[in-house]
Amino acid sequence: MALQAMAVLLPGIGVAPAPVAAAELDAALAAALARTESRVIAWRRDIHQHPELSNREFRTSKLVADHLRSLGLEVETGIARTGVVAVVRGALPGPTIALRADMDALPITEELDLPFRSRVTATYRGETIGVMHACGHDAHTAILMGIAEALVAVRAQLPGAVVLLFQPAEEGAPDGEEGGAALMLKEGVFERYRPEAAFGLHVSPIMRTGQIGYRGGSMFAASDSFRILVRGRGTHGARPWGGVDPIVTAAQIVTALQTIVSRQIDITANPAVITIGAIKGGIRNNVVPDEVEMIGTIRTFDLQQRADVFARVRRTVEGIAAAHGASAVFEPEAEGTPVVVNDPALTREAVATLARVVGEPNVRQVPLITGAEDFGFFAQRVPAFYFYLGITPPQANLAQVAMNHTSRFYLDEAGLAVGARALSAVAIDYLRRGR
C-alpha cells in the first residue's frame, strides 16, 4: 500500500501507474473511440465500394495516408509498394508496439445487394472479374483508422508509442511480384520503428457480433500456393487413343491428392488441407489439349508436416502422370505464409483485457484455423497476439452464414466499434505494463 501511495505522489519512480490515472486514460480513450464510430462505418463503406487487389491498393492507401496526415502524424508511404506507416508517440515514457491492418480485396464478384456494394472489375490471371472485400480487410483498415484518431486524442496520457501498419497484399502478391508483410519486413519497417510486440485482429462470421475468439500458440495455418502442369499429347476428341489426355490425368491427380490427407497424414496430431482451386485446359469440346494447369493451396501447422505433405504431393502428381503416359511437374511457391503463433504470455494478458472489454462469456478459445494470415511474418520477429472478431448479427443462423472469401460474405457493422475498443484496449494495457 505504501508503494502505491508513493506512486501517486511520485509517478516517475517506475512502478505501475495509479489506478486513477489508468481509469482516466480508459475513459478518455473510450470517449475518443465513440466520437469516431460513425466515421469508421463511413470509411469501411467507402473502402468496400472501391476495393483494390493486392499490390494495387492505391486509392485505399491514399485515403489512409490523408487521414493520418490530418491527425498531424508523420506518414511513410510506398512501403511494400502501397503500404502506409505512421507512429503515435505518447507524451509518457513506455514501450513501442505495432498494430496492423490489411487493405487488399479479392477477385470475387459481389452478390449482396448493398447500397455500397462493389461494382469494381479488374483483370486477374488474364480474366476480367469483379473485385470484392470478401475477407473483411475494409473493416480492419477502417478500425485502425479510428484507433489512430483516438490514440492521437489521448496522446498526453499515452505511455510509449504505437506504430500503425497499414499493409498491402495480405492475400498474396500477383504472380512475379513480392508483397505483403514479408516485403514490409524485407524493406526494414521493423528496423526503423523497432516495435517489441505486434497485435492485430480479423473479422470472423463464425462468431456473433460482440464475441471474440483467440488461441494461444499456433492459431492460423501455414499456407503454400502451388502450380501443377500436366503435359500430355493432343488429339482429336473422337480419337482419344491417338494422344495422351492431360484432362483425365489431371482429374485423377485431383482425386488422389485428397487421399494424402484422408489416408496418409496423422490428422489427430495436426490438421492439413490440400485444395485445388482452379483447373485450366482445353478450349473446345472435341479437342484433347496438350496440357492442363492446376493451382492450389496446402495448409499445415508444423515444418515437418509441411515437408512430408510436399513430398507426398510430388510423388502422387508425378506417379499418376507417368501411369497415364503423361508427365507432370509440381511447383510450390518459393516462400509460403508461416503459421501464426500467438505468444503464450501475451495471450494470457490479452485475454484478460478482452474479457474486460466484452465480458468473459463473450471471449472463447477457438480450434486451429486452417485459414492463413501473413501476420505470421510479424509474429516471427516479435511476440504477437492476433484474435478473431465476431461480425455475424444475432438473428443470423451461424450454420448457414457465408464464409470469408465468398461472394455473399456479410459483415455486421456493429462489430466495428467492438473491434476498435478491443484492439485499442489490448494495446493500451500492454503499454501500461511498460515492458
| Given the residues 26, 57, 102, 104, the one annotated as active site | 104
Give the chain's count of helices (H) and strands (E): 11, 18
Lookup: cell for 235: 488429339
Which of 387, 403, 391, 304 shows the shortest CA–CA distance to 340? 387
By DSSP bridging, strand 327-332 and strand 363-365 are unpaired
127 is catalytic: no
Q: Is 198 helix (H, G, I), strand (E, B) or coil?
A: strand
Q: Compute the distance between CA of residue 4 and CA of residue 105 in angstroms, rounded to an integer.
A: 49
* CB distance 120 to 50 below 8 Å: yes
Angle at 11 (CA atoms; ends 162, 432), nearest 5 degrees:
30
Q: Compute the distance between CA of residue 255 and CA of residue 274 in angstroms, rounded to an integer.
A: 11
Give the dihedral sign, CA 188/192/196/200. Answer: negative
102 is catalytic: no
The distance of Cα 90 from the centroid of its chain, to the nearest Å, equals 28
Residues with Cβ within 8 Å of residue 131, at least 6 apart in sequence: 51, 52, 53, 105, 106, 107, 108, 118, 120, 121, 122
- 421 exposed, middle or buried (CB, 10 Å; 0-12, 13-18, 19+)? buried
| Given the residues 26, 57, 170, 343, the one annotated as active site | 170
Lookup result for grid cell 462505418: 41
| Beta bridge mates, 273 | 299
Which of 97, 225, 118, 182 shows the shortest CA–CA distance to 376? 182
Residues with Cβ within 8 Å of residue 385, at least 6 apart in sequence: 197, 198, 199, 214, 342, 343, 346, 347, 350, 426
Residues with catalytic annotation? 104, 170
